[in-house]
Amino acid sequence: MIKLSKFLEEGLIEFNLKSKDKDSAINELVELASKSKLVKNADELLKAVMEREELVTTGVGYGVAFPHAKTRSVKGVVIAFGRSKKGLDFEAMDKKPVFLFFLIAAPEDAIGAHLNVMAELSFLMKSEENRQKLIDAKNFEDILDVLGPST
């Protein structure tokens, strides 16, 4: 089992995304992720995530989306978490609004790392209880309760 908490920093969380549509949500999440010292170029990261999103939506259903990219603009795996209180249309597979967003950025040479992160997040987000905990989360510790401790 992979420790997701080691890829998420307290400064990479937004409990109230302001975005009203998919593109602005991705922009907002990339902006959030770019606070990490592992992100070398936010514009390149944004371009990579948008290109990936054009292939097929990363709105996986259950109110969850995993926009992601492998790019040379990051030096390590980074997760940024955003929550939309109202939910927004992310062209999710189940056609329902998305409330919980995990932006995952990984270096180009990190072959399995981002897949492992996405697999673990997918597993955790299958649980309605975990999704509800993230909807109700008030602080970083609440997020870590779901993603697992960093120790």
* Domain edges within the chain: 18-146
pTM confidence score? 0.95
Q: Give the pLDDT confidence score for residue 29 in this predicted structure.
A: 98
* SS3 labels along 79-145: EEEEEEEEEECCCCCCCCCEEEEEEEEECCCCCCHHHHHHHHHHHHHCCHHHHHHHHHCCCHHHHHH
Could you give the CA distance from residue 41 to residue 123 in angstroms, rounded to a whole number?
A: 30
Report, as residue numbers or ranges, the catalytic residues: 68
27-49 residues labelled b (16+ CB within 10 A) or e (exposed) = bbbbebbbebebbeebebbbebb
CB distance 79 to 117 below 8 Å: yes
For the record, the structure tokens of 104 come out as 């995952």
Q: Give the pLDDT confidence score for residue 1 in this predicted structure.
A: 65
Q: Give the pLDDT confidence score for residue 113 in this predicted structure.
A: 84
Q: Give the pLDDT confidence score for residue 150 in this predicted structure.
A: 53
Could you give the CA distance from residue 21 to residue 127 in angstroms, rounded to a whole number?
A: 25
pLDDT along the chain (151 residues), means of 10: 87 96 97 97 97 94 96 95 96 96 94 88 96 97 85 47
In CATH, the number for domain 18-146 is 3.40.930.10
What's the Cα-to-Cα distance from 30 to each of 4, 68, 132, rounded to whole Å?
A: 18, 10, 24
60-99 residues labelled b (16+ CB within 10 A) or e (exposed) = bebbbbbbbbbbebbeebbbbbbbbeebbebebeeeeebb
